[in-house]
Amino acid sequence: MISTRILSKTLQELSSICHTDFALLGRAGQLLFATSPELSVDPSAIDAFLQSAADEMTLADIFVYRISDRDRTEYILLAHGGDAGLFGRIASSEIHNLMEASGEKTDQSHFIQHLLLDDLLPLDIRNEARRLRIREDVPRVVFLIETDEEDNEMALQTLRALITAPRGSDFITPLDMAHIAVVKEFSSGSLAASALKTANTLSDMLNTEAMISVRVAYGEPVNSLTALSHSCKEAHLALEVGRIFYPDRRIISCDRLGIGRLIYQLPTALCERFLRETFPDGVFDELTEEDMATIRTFFANSLNISETARQLFIHRNTLVYRLEKLEKVTGLDIRKFDDAMTFKLAMMVSEYLHSQAG
């Protein structure tokens, strides 16, 4: 339902233009807003009007209008002063149009939500898209925004306030308490670059301006409404893979998951066997946090001993000693490319297994 704030602002502006006072009552006859405190009607008369089938009536010099939505009374409008009969009809028509627009927007949001969750049949998608005036075959990308908050309402309201687009173009809808979907339409061209730019904008908007910690993932560009659920699934996969293998990334694209995508789709039994074969005595689980920090820094610096030693604030010979000790324990010399690749895979597989166990 449209907010009372918007309705009161609309009536206040109409009152100033038309020199007519308005009062808006709820479906039970309660006062919601009035441009003049003197504008009132006997409650019994309003009750009688609500019980009748009439859409308008006149009480002395006050005009009363029923405003309905889908055969249900939503508001009662009172108009007094000036040409109240004419301007009352104009005001009631304006409120009705606002209600229709708001209802259509809500319907669109629900439609997109069910579409992303893959709850609709192809024929239903086409029919509903035509009814809601949503274009079917245009390039779109689904962005999933994951918040660290218990409730994503603040992030949702921030997005709705800051993202404006023509009706039927871009959509914002919650999927659950932690995830918000943004479906954005793009013109044909460099979709990859445009999608990345949009993801950065969404992340900056919420992380920096609204001070809400979020991660943003996005799926593949698709050219039809029926394929949007696929883009959403890819974005969700990107969030899951990113959480396990790339925890420092705030923006994750489904086409930049690398080997993380492959490991994520492997059976856990196969991953466990790989670790047993690579480290027969289970020595991988016995490595200290200092060992792992050294290894991660070494990999982050492309196996460069000098740069790794500098970042760890240790002497170069100390780092070489650590790596030689690691080789004796694990049987892998990560200064060599093949052994480094094997160890990197083992680290990722271990992270995946831990995520599955948790």
* CATH number of the domain where residue 78 is located: 3.30.450
Number of H helices, E strands in the chain: 13, 10
Q: What is the pTM of this model?
A: 0.67
**Domain tally for the chain?**
3
- Tokens in use for 64? 């009363």
Considering the domain architecture, whether residues 72 and 45 belong to the same structural domain is answered as yes
Residue 72: in which H helix or E strand, if any? strand 72-80
Interacting residues of 61 by C-beta distance below 8 A, sequence separation 6+: 80, 84
Which of 44, 76, 102 corresponds to the end of one domain? Answer: 102
Residue 215, strand partner residues = 146
Instruction: Say which DSSP state 226 is in.
Output: G
CATH code of the domain in which 284 resides: 1.10.10.2840
Residue at a domain's end among 199, 232, 261: 261
Give the residue numbers spanning the domain of 351.
266-357
Residue-level pLDDT, tens digit, the chain, 358 residues: 456 677 888 899 999 998 899 998 887 788 888 898 888 888 888 888 888 888 889 888 899 999 887 677 888 999 998 888 899 899 998 888 887 766 655 578 888 888 998 888 888 888 888 888 888 889 999 999 998 776 777 888 888 877 766 555 789 988 887 899 999 998 877 788 889 999 999 999 888 877 888 999 999 999 999 999 999 999 999 999 999 999 889 999 999 999 999 999 999 999 999 999 998 877 888 889 999 999 999 999 999 999 999 999 999 999 999 999 999 999 999 999 999 999 999 999 999 999 988 6
How many CA atoms within 13 Å lie on the side-chain side of 105? Answer: 16
Write the CB contacts of 68 (distance below 8 Å, at least 6 apart in sequence): 55, 74
Asked whether residue 130 falls in the same domain as residue 255, the answer is yes
Q: Which two tokens stand for residue 151?
A: 């409730």
* CATH number of the domain within which 220 lies: 3.30.70.270
